[in-house]
A and B are shown apart, each in its own frame.
Chain A
Amino acid sequence: MNLLSIAYKSIKQRALSSSLTSLSVALGVMLMVTVLVIHGIIDRMFSQQTIGYELIVGRKGSGLQLVLNTVYRLKQPIENLPYLYYLELKNDPRVEDAVPFALGDFTKEGGFPIIGTVSDYFVLDYAPDHKFKIRGSGFRDSFDAIIGSEVARENGWRVDDPNTPENEASTFKLVHGGAESDHEHDEVFTVRGVMQKTGTPNDKTVFIHLNGFYAIAGHDRPPNETLTKLKAFYTEGIPGRPDLDQTDPETLKPKPGEHIHGMEDWQKEVTAVLVNCKRPPDWPADAASPQLGDFEAEFKRGFKAQAVNPIVPMRELMQDIVGNIRKVLVVMTGLIIIVSGVSIFVSIYNSMSDRRREIAVMRALGAQRRTVFSIILAESLLLCVGGGVVGVLMGHGLVFAVAPYVAAQSGLLIDPFAFEPMELSVLPGLIVLASLVGIVPGLTAYRTDVAKALAE
Chain B
Amino acid sequence: MSLLLERVEKSYREPDGTPLPILDIENFQLGDAEQVALVGESGGGKTTLLNVISGISTPDSGRVVIDGVEINALPEVARDRFRAERIGFVFQTFNLLAAFSALENVLLGMSFGGGKADRVRALELLDRVGLSKRASHRPGQLSVGEQQRVAVARALANRPSLLLADEPTASVDIANQENILTLIREACLADNVSLLLVTHSPDIASRFGRVARLDEINRVAQTTAAAGGPA
Contacts and interface: CB of A to CB of B under 8 A. Distances in A.
Interface residues of B, number: 34
A2 B111 CA distance: 7
Nearest to B157: A365
A403 B116 CA distance: 51
B107 A361 contact: no
A362 B108 contact: yes
Nearest to B54: A364
A383 to B, nearest CB: 15
A9 B104 contact: yes
Query: DSSP class of A's interface residues: helix, strand, loop or mixed?
Result: helix
B48 A451 contact: yes
Q: Which of A365, A367, A451 has the most CB of B within 10 A?
A: A365
Contacts of B108: 1, 6, 362, 365
A366 B107 contact: no
A224 interface: no
Nearest to B158: A366
Contacts of A361: 91, 94-97
Contact of B57 (A12, A367, A451): A451
A357 B84 contact: no
A307 to B, nearest CB: 71
Given A363-B80, A365-B109, A357 B57 contact: no
Interface string A332-373: 000000000000000000000000011001111111110100
Interface in A419-454: 450-451, 454
A369 B80 CA distance: 9
Given A1-B107, A10-B99, A368 B80 contact: yes
Contacts of A2: 111
A366 B51 CA distance: 12
B84 to A, nearest CB: 2
A362 B113 contact: no
A455 interface: yes
A49 to B, nearest CB: 57
Interface string A355-399: 001100111111111010000000000000000000000000000
B56 A12 contact: no
B112 interface: yes
Q: Which of A366, A367, A369 has the most CB of B within 10 A?
A: A366
B226 interface: no
A13 interface: yes
Interface string B82-118: 1111010101001111111000100111011100010
B175 interface: no
B32 interface: no
Nearest to A450: B56
A366 B56 contact: no
Interface string B24-52: 00000000000000000000000110010
A1 B111 contact: yes
Contacts of B210: none
A371 B112 CA distance: 9
Contacts of A357: 94
Contacts of A358: 97-99
B186 interface: no
A369 B154 CA distance: 20
Q: Which of B56, B87, B154 has the most CB of A within 10 A?
A: B56
28 contacts: A1-B108, A1-B117, A9-B99, A9-B104, A10-B99, A358-B99, A361-B94, A361-B95, A361-B96, A361-B97, A362-B112, A364-B54, A364-B56, A364-B83, A365-B84, A365-B89, A366-B80, A366-B81, A366-B84, A366-B85, A368-B77, A368-B80, A368-B81, A450-B56, A454-B47, A454-B51, A454-B91, A455-B47
Interface of A: 1-2, 6, 9-10, 12-13, 357-358, 361-369, 371, 450-451, 454-455
